[in-house]
Amino acid sequence: MLLADTKRILLKLSGEVLMGDQQFGIDTDFVAKLAGEVKAAKETGLEICLVIGGGNIFRGMAGAAKGMDRAQADYMGMLATVMNALAMQSALEKLGVETRVQSAIQMDQVCEPVIRRRAERHLEKGRVVIFAAGVGAPYFTTDSGAALRAAEMGCDALFKGTSVDGVYNADPKKDASATRYDTIDYDTVLAENLKVMDASAVALCRDNDIPIVVFSIRERGNLARVLAGDGIQTIVRTGANRSAS
């Protein structure tokens, strides 16, 4: 086990991983593969809260850059996360994993509202709870939503599955000499503005002592490997001396 005594995790998936190899939108085959990863993690006995981004469909900042009102564009981004949550729900249920979607923007015909005690009960019953619409307010991201739900639901760690395998000192897609950290502390991430999650999410995790594990969700079986301590990842936590491999 990567982190001792981990019983409940929050898994955050960037919207862009739902695109698979497409340039936009939802690749249902790839979502089915992701659902398989979640199922395998659940079968290890973990309780799982899921948060999925919306960047594969719409990001508020992109809309604002094209002249849209920022708050309005952010609402569209939040709606995109609900679409992704429904796609993941469908894929998980096809694999026999029971789920509930709870949205921070109330949408009674489609899913439940966020109710912590109800989510708690779902987890006790072995359901995966997918939290949609981030924190439910514009000017935030789903990273902040993930940190908030991780704190609210008492998760032992926040696993961020994305398209890079950890935190680097420079962008590995642009700089071939970039090195990946195995561990690093929250304050260094914030002071050096390293690309992990946005600052409000990192600060919320720091203040609530929730380790952040950044790993790639693109390779098959990687979530299980990382959870078992056999994978490649960066752990952001208090007092971690910066170490790179």
Residues that bind ligand UDP (CB under 6 A): 14-16, 53-55, 59-61, 74, 77-78, 80-81, 134-135, 137-138, 140-145
Task: Compare residues 102 and 142 and give the one whose CB is closer to ligand UDP.
Answer: 142
User: From the CB of 196, what's the least distance to ligand UDP, in Å?
Assistant: 12
User: From the CB of 59, what's the least distance to ligand UDP, in Å?
Assistant: 4
User: From the CB of 168, what's the least distance to ligand UDP, in Å?
Assistant: 18
What per-residue string of b and e applies to 163-198 under the rule 16 or more CB within 10 Å gives b?
A: ebbbbbbeebeeeeeeebbbbbbbeebeeeebebbe
Task: Compare residues 112 and 198 and give the one whose CB is closer to ligand UDP.
Answer: 198
Q: Which residues are annotated as a binding site?
A: 12-15, 54-55, 59, 74, 135-142, 162, 168, 171
Q: Collect all residues with Cβ–Cβ distance below 8 Å to 49 and sequence separation of at least 6.
A: 8, 9, 10, 11, 119, 123, 128, 129, 130, 131, 149, 150, 153, 155
- Cα 133 from chain centroid? 12
**Distance between CA atoms of residues 5 and 107, nearest Å:** 36
User: From the CB of 118, what's the least distance to ligand UDP, in Å?
Assistant: 20
User: What 8-state DSSP symbol labels residue 198?
Assistant: -
Which residue number is nearest to ligand UDP in terms of Cβ? 53
Amino acid found at 144: S
Task: Compare residues 78 and 101 and give the one whose CB is closer to ligand UDP.
Answer: 78
Q: Which residues are annotated as a binding site for ATP?
A: 12-15, 55, 59, 162, 168, 171
Task: Compare residues 77 and 166 and give the one whose CB is closer to ligand UDP.
Answer: 77
Task: Compare residues 34 and 183 and give the one whose CB is closer to ligand UDP.
Answer: 34
**Distance between CA atoms of residues 2 and 225, nearest Å:** 9
Cα dihedral angle (218, 219, 220, 222), rounded to 10 degrees? -100
The DSSP H or E segment spanning 145 is: helix 142-152
User: From the CB of 78, what's the least distance to ligand UDP, in Å?
Assistant: 5
Other beta carbons less than 10 A from residue 150's beta carbon:
29
